[in-house]
A and B are shown apart, each in its own frame.
Chain A
Amino acid sequence: MRPAGVMRRHVAIVGNGAAAISALETFRTHDRDSRVTVASAEPCTAYSRVLLPYYLRRKVPYHHLFIRDAAFYRDFDADLLLESAVERVDVGARRLEFADGRNLPFDRLLLAPGSSPVRPPIPGLEGPEVQHLWRLDEAGRLDHLFRQGARALVIGAGFVSLQAVWAARQRGLVVTVIELAERILPTVLDDAGARILQECIVASGVDLHTNTRTEGLMRDERGTLRVSVEGLPSFAADVVIVGTGVRPNDHLLAECVEPAQRGITVDDTMQTAIDGVYAAGDVARGPVVGGGPRTVHALWPTAVEQGKIAGANLAGARATYAGSLSMNVTSMFGVTVASLGRFAAEEGDTVVLRDDLPGLRYLKIVVREGVPVGAVALGGAAAATALGFLRPFVRQRVPVADIEAVVTGEHVAGRIARGRAIGRVVPGGSGS
């Protein structure tokens, strides 16, 4: 029992995505006593942004986008504030200031407000047909715009954009993709992997132009959007998806953003420079596996891991983060695309390239001083499994003698090497 008159500690969590949920769940395994408030800018319980392209593809029904329901917040004894966008954190007074003028004092704080899409300075890029694929309401609007035979313009060829393109093709839209950079997916694939995927995209009937500038959009006399693209005749668009990157919502704690950097800087406990104030997920610039400069890894698994660390430390545990490891996987245009860590070779690296392993069209592993540091794989589901086998070596920095054995499921030397890299694993659940 708490002594009478002692206030319950109040923990505020800003955001309601992967990092926030993971933090709340972990926090409650340590602390059943403190008051917790989760402040979400959006009007609903937690949903998964990762699933939005799958929803557009009709692979995931709308109600399955929600990964937590109202009962979850009750079970974890958290007040969920909806449509409560935080405008400012008053660090001195230790309170949140909401856009609508309300404020909320806190003792400890986790900032997990995610990131927001960037809209490029293209003239005429506005109107109801112009959407990002980032929030739930945007996905809902795109779902209405995705009519069979509709003409879609997709600006940008990143991970989310291309999944939207794949969804649009599956729904029978006519799709043009315009990418300013020289190639698709610069942060997810290497050049050769990107070329393979690009062939698959074009083969699916997509009109894809890299190294091309979208000059502007305007409405014709009937109100239809017409698109001007460098070097192409102008064309009409019924739907425009803007996918030109995201930016962390780091303005909430600008004093913890380093000059010329993005993201709120955190240490390996996920604490910012301010005592009792933590950050996790897309907004955090945190440690990475293998050392090196802190980085924003705006990825679901990183958000989950960082949320866990932050949640434990909000409760006074002393958890430290070994660092995030970039990992991406999806299937689109009939191919599984996966990557891990640093897959761009630098001087002095050894590169293993294979196109003859079962289920793999392309495998590239970058090795530095005997230790694999990153990889790209394209093919069937085996692409994801192979990088799953490799991940412990990259994460624990374990040298590999026979890389082929490690990424090939049942190879005995690989199995034993993998067992060593993975280390101690406790089987079975303790919950029941």
Chain B
Amino acid sequence: MRIVAVDPDSCVACRNCEYTCAFQQTGDFDRARAHIRVAYYPAERACVPFTCMHCAEAWCMEVCPAGAIARNEETGAVEIDAARCAGCKMCLLACPFGNIGFDEADGVSGKCDLCGGDPRCVGSCISGALEYVEVEDAFAFRREALDTRLRHVLRLDKGRP
């Protein structure tokens, strides 16, 4: 499957991805309801987008007591069925990345669903920071690699440029 990979070196914090995601998911441009978030660190002059990585062992999906979270067999995305979601917030407690949001108006959880296989955030990214790539290729971008790059971008590694 493919996922949205993130390159913090390229992001310019234009927030197009957030606006596009919010519009795709809600029909409005309220960035707070987007399922991708760009963290902006002014002191370090750095910005990093974050979104769900559709974990191979998705704990949100395993612990959902409503059976509302399932993997889309076509896209591989871990998706929340809003009609089944009870709004118990167990998935928010299960996700260690904070990548699941809660829609207070409807009382249901929400997260990235890869837009059914055509993630709009990637299409709207102006700097090439987001790419929709095969998991194997994306792995260089992900997790530990991302943290290392984050430390580098944020100049937390002493003795490095």
Contact = CB atoms under 8 A, between A and B. Distances in A.
Interface of A: 18, 22, 48, 50-51, 54, 59-60, 64, 67-68, 300-301, 304, 308, 327, 329-331, 336, 338, 340, 380-381, 384-385, 387-389, 391-392, 409-410, 412, 415-416, 418-422, 424-432
B71 A329 contact: no
Contacts of A338: 89, 93
B111 to A, nearest CB: 12
B71 A431 contact: yes
Contacts of B150: 412, 415-416, 419
Contacts of A381: 89, 92, 101-102, 104
Contacts of A308: 62
A330 B88 contact: yes
A420 B90 contact: no
A432 B96 contact: no
B143 A427 contact: yes
A382 to B, nearest CB: 9
B89 A301 contact: no
Contacts of A329: 88-90, 92-93
A427 B56 contact: yes
Nearest to A50: B65
Contact of A330 (B54, B74, B89, B154): B89
A425 B53 contact: yes
A329 B95 CA distance: 13
A22 B100 CA distance: 23
Identify the interface centre among B37, B39, B87, B104: most chain A CB within 10 Å of its CB.
B87
A186 to B, nearest CB: 20
A429 to B, nearest CB: 4
| Nearest 5 pairs of A and B residues by beta carbon | A428-B135, A67-B67, A427-B53, A381-B102, A50-B65
A384 B39 contact: no
Given A409-B98, A420-B147, A428-B56, A54 B93 contact: no
Nearest to B139: A427
B89 A427 contact: no
Interface string B51-64: 00111111000110
A409 to B, nearest CB: 5
B128 interface: no
Interface residues of B, number: 56
Contacts of A410: 37, 39-40
Contacts of A380: 102, 104
Nearest to A410: B39
A426 B90 CA distance: 21
A408 to B, nearest CB: 10
B19 to A, nearest CB: 18
A422 B144 CA distance: 10
Contacts of A428: 1-3, 53-56, 76, 135, 138
A330 B92 CA distance: 11
A374 to B, nearest CB: 13
Contacts of A392: 96
Given A67-B65, A385-B93, A412-B44, 15 more contacts: A48-B65, A54-B66, A59-B87, A385-B92, A409-B98, A412-B154, A412-B156, A416-B151, A421-B96, A427-B3, A427-B54, A428-B3, A428-B76, A429-B56, A432-B75
Contact of A50 (B75, B78, B84, B88): B88
Contacts of B62: 22, 304, 308
Nearest to B54: A428
Given A427-B55, A427-B56, A389 B98 contact: yes
B154 A388 contact: no
Contact of A426 (B55, B93, B95, B101): B55
12 contacts: A50-B86, A51-B86, A60-B86, A64-B66, A300-B90, A336-B89, A388-B93, A389-B98, A410-B39, A418-B96, A422-B143, A429-B58
Interface in B122-161: 135, 138-139, 142-144, 146-147, 150-151, 154, 156
B105 interface: no
A432 B1 contact: yes
A431 B76 contact: yes
A380 B96 CA distance: 18
Nearest to A340: B93
Nearest to A54: B86
Interface string B27-57: 0000000000101110010000000011111
Contacts of B88: 50, 54, 329-331
B116 interface: no
